[in-house]
Amino acid sequence: QLQLVESGGGLVQPGGSLRLSCAASAFILEHAAIGWFRQAPGKEREGVSCINSDRSGSGTNYADSVKGRFAISKDNAKNTVYLQMNGLKPEDTAVYYCAANWRLCTSRATDFGSWGQGTQVTVSS
């Protein structure tokens, strides 16, 4: 089993920013794509962003709903993937999860076999 640990969630006002972290390992980042997903009460789990493995070139993708506001990156020295979230909106409120996919990035949760515990993001005035 792979271990992924999310952190950085919290309560923020609309228009504010948060930076989420996904602690992984060098092996995971070398070989696995890391995706960010979110799930709000009463809604399906949604793919937010993904970054491919080091071996696959570390290319990124984003859901249309977050393009221009969110940015995914990785710091190999810290074995960590980040999700920088700017211009937050109430509809961004959800539990955010990071997950590992041993192939290439997709937006399908079922393609990801290892998951973190989740971190709550609440955007409210």
28-55 residue pLDDT tens: 999 999 999 999 999 999 999 999 999 9
pLDDT value for 63 = 98
- Residues in the chain predicted with pLDDT less than 70, given as ranges, are 1-2
Burial 87-118 (b: 16+ CB within 10 A, else e): ebeeebbbbbbbbbbeeebeeebebbebbbeb
Kindly state the tokens that stand for 11: 């309560």
d(CA 122, CA 8) in angstroms, rounded, equals 12
d(CA 117, CA 96) in angstroms, rounded, equals 9
d(CA 77, CA 109) in angstroms, rounded, equals 27
pLDDT value for 35 = 98
